[in-house]
Amino acid sequence: MSNTLLRIYPSELKMPFELRKSNTGCIELVNKTDQRVAFKVKTTNPKKYAVRPTSGIVPPGGSCGITITMQAPKEIPQDYQCKDKFLIQSVIVQEGITHKDIVPEMFGRAPGRVVEEFKLRVIYIPANPPSPVPEGDEEEIADMEVDHEVFRQSMIDAASRQEYASGPQASHDKDASTVKPEVVKYVAENKKLQQELEQLSERRQSLGGFSRTFVLLVFLLSVLVGYWMTGRKV
In a domain? residue 155:
no
Give residue 27's pLDDT band: very low, low, confident or very high (50, 70, 90): very high
Q: Are residues 109 and 212 in the same domain?
A: no
Residue 170: its pLDDT value, please? 46
- Indicate whether 100 belongs to any domain: yes
Number of domains observed in the structure of the chain? 2
pLDDT at 212: 57
Q: Is residue 149 part of a domain?
A: no
Query: pLDDT-based confidence at 221, cuts 50/70/90?
Result: low
**pLDDT, tens digit, for every residue of 103-146?**
999 999 888 899 999 999 999 998 876 665 555 555 554 555 54
Mean pLDDT of 76-100: 92
**Domain of residue 105, CATH code:** 2.60.40.10
Residues 191 and 88 in one domain: no
What average pLDDT does range 85-91 have in this prediction?
97
**pLDDT tens digits for range 29-55:** 999 999 999 999 999 999 999 999 999
Structural domain of residue 184, as residue ranges? 179-225
Does residue 212 fall inside a structural domain? yes
Question: pLDDT band at residue 219, thresholds of 50, 70 and 90?
Answer: low
168-189 pLDDT per residue, tens: 454 445 444 544 565 556 556 6
The Cα 71–Cα 69 span in angstroms is 7
Q: What is the pLDDT of residues 53-70, one digit of tens each?
A: 999 999 999 999 999 999
Q: 71 lies in a domain? A: yes
Are 20 and 102 within one domain?
A: yes
pLDDT score at 79: 81
* Least confident interval from 20-29, 150-159, 184-193, 220-229: 150-159
d(CA 188, CA 182): 10
* pLDDT score for 114: 92
